[in-house]
Structure 1
Amino acid sequence: MKKQFKKWGRPRLLIVGCGDVGLRLLPLLRASFRVYALTSQPARCAELRAAGAIPLVANLDNAASLARLSGLASYCVHLAPPRSEGVKDQRTQNLTAILPDKSRLVYISTTGVYGDCGGASFDETRPVKPQNARAIRRVAAEEHLRRWARQSHSRLAILRVPGIYAADRLPIERLQKGTPALADADDVYTNHIHADDLAQLIKLALFRALPQRVYNAVDDSDLTMAAYFDLVADTFALPRPPRLPRNELAQQVSPMLLSFMSESRRIQNRRITSELGMRFQYPTVAEGVAAAVAATVAATFATTPTTKSP
């Protein structure tokens, strides 16, 4: 039987995988929760504490290290990815083993679970069809979480997330290197969400998500991958990437990058706007990238020494 911690004050929330998005989420939750952040790196404790979380050192790959946290928090945001091998997600199984019954959990999955959809437009009712090992592991995690939620009478929300971008998460280095993009005839549709919008969406899902509900966590953009690269290049005054047919591009990029360039999806987001009341700070990538370049310019001026008149 899981140990139950005595309840007092604000409800406890555990963030698992508290990286960039988790740090953006923390300011949105500190007033409502006593927030704990799980990390396997003791060196990150000071950073997490400064951001307003109580750091806990444990490792999702080591179930024994999690045992002392059993029953600690009845709210959980699960941002940690599966390991990079296998077809299951043991990390997620280790996590649910320490959560009390009647918990509320938001899981950050991926739109990759849909596989290649040939550029079709669709919503959350489309069946999953993972076509690479990463997506197969995510589907396994989703399936495990559904079983856990039913058995523990918990509330689960699954956010299927596409490419996350922000001012410091843009393909600037790729553009500077001149890495090619696909020619128009072979190009794929991609989906996006700004990291700040994702953090806001996670908060809404914690409070408003329907039980055992899947949500596509995508913005309103409708872009091909090469158009996205061109947009960033134009905004930052960089050369647009050269375009190549798929067979030529395959000889110049890594297999992992090529796999991302082999799946085409146009994902709808009506469920997050109608059910969760999501209002985007950056409804499209164009607005998010424009804000990023404005922030870059402002930061440059702020750090540039001024000269005084004689």
Structure 2
Amino acid sequence: MNLFCFGLGYSAQHFIKTYGDHFETIAGTARSYYAIERLGDPRIKGFMFDAERADPEIADALAHADVLLVSIPPDTSVEPTLAKFGRVLSQLPQQVKIIYLSTIGVYGDRHGEWVDETRVPVPKQPRSTSRLRAEKAWQALSRDARKTIQILRLAGIYGPGRNALVQLKNGTAQRVIKPDQIFNRIHVADIGTAIAAALAYEGDSDVWNVADDEPAPPQDVITYAAKLMGIEPPPEEDFETAPLSAMARSFYEENKRAANGKMKDGLGVTLAYPNYRDGLNALWDAGEGRR
């Protein structure tokens, strides 16, 4: 198989690190040549692609790809990958499996209720509205029998270098309290497992929640990480008065529990880190928050 990644970001890089040997060739895009150089993986052929520029060799690389992993977020009004390469992708003659990384944010605010893939998305935030629009644009490609599209709706991503242990070490962790607030999370290693399972899946195009088993209040994660580190957690801060960025505050405006049973049953995924404690324990054992 030949893999092409639109977006060589955090999740894509971890997937390649674990599963890269399954592919004959690997190529993908980054927003700068500096980012390509920083990948440090000789297996990856990198191409420049952003809102204004696209390496002309990308079209040739797509002609040989039979697996696409798409993680570039949409703009407010356009899905940048399809805007530039939609015609090329629609005309590819080979069988292509496409994995699109979306977000459980498309479900909107559900007041803490459980949501599965049967629930109609009602996104609240503009970024989630754009995601849902992008999902539909990618799903339109599956009208071509040569293409299948698996939409993976991801919970909040954490993993090496991106977790509560690192935030505590850097002094950026906040223990914000909003009554009854719940978030799902997903370890980047489990995202990789879900991507691999979606590629192995022989069914029709579909949608899958990729989330852990135990949605939990955000302050509990910080408290547990502090316990692992043997330090006092930061003081509690009321959500209404806490100094949060507009982006961070917007996440607290939505409250839901994402069900992952379909992913487990339909894709056969067994989570390595079914809850935040297991994930943080492994990260702490690996040295996160100590260096």
TM-score normalised by L of structure 2: 0.87
Equivalent-residue separation in structure 2 for 1:103 and 1:60 (angstroms): 25
SS at match of 2:241: helix
What's the offset of the Cα at 1:46? 4.2
1:52 aligns with 2:43: yes
- List alignment gaps of at least 5 residues for structure 1: 1-10, 301-310
CA contact 1:187–1:226 (8 Å) conserved in 2: no
What's the offset of the Cα at 1:177? 4.3
What residue in structure 1 maps to residue 164 of structure 2? 171
Equivalent-residue separation in structure 2 for 1:218 and 1:290 (angstroms): 18
What residue in structure 2 maps to residue 196 of structure 1? 189
Paired AA for residue 176 in structure 2: A
Which string of whole-angstrom CA distances, capped at 9 and with x for unpartnered residues, describes residues 23-45 of structure 1?
Answer: 22114132343211222322344
SS at match of 2:26: strand
Paired AA for residue 174 in structure 2: T
1:181 aligns with 2:176: yes
2:15 to 22, 25, 32: 25
Equivalent-residue separation in structure 1 for 2:187 and 2:255 (angstroms): 19
Q: Within 5 Å, which residues of 2 pair with 1:106-255?
A: 106-151=99-144, 153-172=146-165, 174-175=167-168, 176-177=171-172, 179-183=174-178, 186-208=179-201, 210-249=203-242, 252-255=243-246
1:97 to 79, 87, 90: 87
Quote the sequence identity (%): 23
1:295 to 279, 282, 286: 286
User: Where does structure 1 differ by over 6 angstroms across 4 or more consecutive aligned residues?
Assistant: none
TM-score normalised by L of structure 1: 0.82
CA contact 2:48–2:55 (8 Å) conserved in 1: no
What residue in structure 2 maps to residue 73 of structure 1? 65
What's the offset of the Cα at 1:90? 2.8
Count the aligned residue pairs.
284
SS at match of 1:190: coil
Tell me whether 57-66 or 199-208 shows the greater mean CA deviation: 57-66
Going from structure 1 to structure 2, the CA distance change for 1:177 and 1:217 (only over 3 Å counts) comes to closer
CA contact 1:23–1:51 (8 Å) conserved in 2: no
What's the offset of the Cα at 1:70? 4.7
What's the offset of the Cα at 1:244? 3.7
CA contact 1:188–1:262 (8 Å) conserved in 2: no
SS at match of 1:223: coil
Q: Supply the RMSD in Å over aligned alpha carbons.
A: 2.5
